[in-house]
């Protein structure tokens, strides 16, 4: 079995200082420093879609609410709800890409540090705000997870409204996927049809696809933590497929004595290696947030043994990005491969940072 090349993530790191002991992860004196290592105090961290080009978005909303005294669980849910309501984000909520039947099914979870309570929903249909429904599960029930029609009916009892979650743009993407799925089926591929879609409904030549998700974690000045992950899941998935996002310990986890963590990307990998829990556990043993994320990614890489999931270098061929926030405010992120960013608000500035990568 391959061993990950730590030089890969060093090459992708921004502003790192590399000394003689930089590759020895067990060394007490770390030569590698990451952007979030020294931060202390309140902080909100999220996947890249948590900060929009205009300087607003999830992390800004969550930090504003924390500044106003809101509980961090309420703050992170309010933040991700902005993304869930954005029809241009095909990875989350309204406008999310559907399953193979053309139905949008949402997954979400939220965890509250002080009470160690969690709430989640999976395969939720016709309800826009999966994260808010998960928060209702946390606050108003003795359960952790509700699924399918039970989750939908619970949401209706809580005052949520049913609506069609499939936007026209997402429907066109699904139809394009369906047309080009199998050359032997009865659908005409785009290059075979005598009647291509009208110009106003055309989408990009490449079929839109996403593993998409948003994770957001927050800590207050007094060390109170919460985290939330919400998604429309793997595009064109088998109906009923549930990823890591609603699974406590996989797509999201909080221990108020240590920190919070989350994941985006290939959900099956995060589930099989309990990524969010493993990150928090590693922080509890003394790893920095970024080191903990890299440790969890290395664990995923070591346990990826199916040939179809490996590239020609023996490395996982899929994307997985992990996020960590420590109780004292230190934060970090890492990705399986380079090219990913994350969003952070340190109480002063909201910005994107490059995620260190495990592999070049």
Contacts of 120 (CB under 8 A, 6+ apart): 107, 108, 109, 110, 134, 137, 144, 145, 146, 246, 247, 248
The C-alpha R_g of the chain, in whole angstroms, comes to: 20
Q: How many CA atoms lie within 13 A of 131 on its CB side?
A: 33
Is 42 within 8 Å of 54 (Cβ atoms)?
Answer: no
Report in angstroms the alpha-carbon separations of 205 from 101, 173, 190, 306.
21, 10, 9, 30
Span between the terminal Cα atoms of the chain, in Å = 18
213 is catalytic: yes
Is 247 within 8 Å of 213 (Cβ atoms)?
Answer: no
What is the dihedral sign for C-alpha 165, 167, 168, 171? negative
Q: Are strands 331-335 and 341-345 parallel, antiparallel or unpaired?
A: unpaired
Q: What is the DSSP string of 214-258?
A: EEEEEE-TT--EEEEEEE--STTPPTT---STTSBTTTEEEETTT
Going edge to edge, which strands form the sheet with 214-219?
145-147, 117-124, 106-112, 225-231, 214-219, 43-47, 341-345, 350-354
Report in angstroms the alpha-carbon separations of 160 from 117, 127, 149, 166.
22, 7, 14, 17
Is 296 within 8 Å of 278 (Cβ atoms)?
Answer: yes
Which among 263, 324, 321 is positioned nearest to 289, based on CA atoms?
Answer: 324
Which among 235, 308, 241 is positioned nearest to 268, based on CA atoms?
Answer: 241
Q: Are strands 214-219 and 225-231 parallel, antiparallel or unpaired?
A: antiparallel
Active-site annotation holder among 213, 224, 229, 264: 213
User: Would you please indicate which residues are annotated as catalytic (active-site) residues?
Assistant: 213
């Amino acid at each position: 079995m391959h061993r990950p090349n730590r030089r890969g993530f060093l090459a992708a790191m921004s502003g790192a200082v590399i000394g003689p002991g930089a590759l020895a992860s067990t060394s007490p004196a770390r030569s590698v420093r990451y952007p979030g290592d020294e931060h202390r105090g309140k902080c909100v961290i999220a996947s890249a879609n948590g900060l929009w080009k205009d300087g607003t978005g999830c992390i800004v909303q969550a930090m504003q609410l924390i500044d106003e005294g809101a509980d961090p669980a309420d703050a992170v849910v309010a933040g991700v709800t902005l993304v869930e309501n954005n029809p241009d984000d095909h990875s989350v909520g309204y406008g999310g890409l559907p399953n193979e039947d053309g139905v949008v099914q949402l997954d979400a979870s939220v965890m509250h540090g002080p009470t160690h309570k969690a709430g989640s929903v999976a395969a939720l249909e016709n309800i826009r705000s999966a994260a808010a429904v998960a928060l209702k599960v946390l606050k108003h029930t003795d359960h952790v997870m509700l699924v399918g029609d039970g989750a939908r009916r619970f949401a209706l009892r809580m005052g949520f409204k049913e609506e069609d979650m499939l936007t026209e743009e997402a429907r066109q993407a699904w139809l394009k996927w369906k047309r080009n799925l199998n050359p032997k089926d009865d659908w005409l591929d785009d290059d075979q049809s005598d009647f291509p879609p009208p110009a106003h409904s055309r989408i990009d030549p490449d079929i839109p696809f996403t593993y998409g998700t948003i994770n957001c974690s927050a800590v207050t000045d007094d060390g109170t933590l919460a985290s939330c992950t919400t998604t429309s899941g793997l595009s064109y998935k088998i109906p009923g497929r549930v990823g890591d996002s609603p699974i406590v310990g996989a797509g999201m986890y909080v221990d108020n004595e240590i920190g919070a963590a989350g994941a985006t990307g290939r959900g099956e990998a995060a589930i099989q290696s309990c990524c969010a829990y493993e990150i928090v556990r590693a922080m509890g043993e003394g790893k920095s947030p970024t080191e903990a994320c890299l440790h969890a990614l290395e664990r995923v890489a070591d346990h990826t043994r199916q040939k179809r999931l490996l590239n020609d270098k023996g490395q996982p061929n899929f994307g997985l990005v992990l996020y960590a926030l420590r109780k004292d405010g230190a934060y970090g992120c890492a990705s399986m491969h380079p090219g990913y960013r994350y969003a952070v608000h340190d109480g002063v500035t909201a910005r994107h940072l490059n995620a260190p990568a495990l592999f070049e």
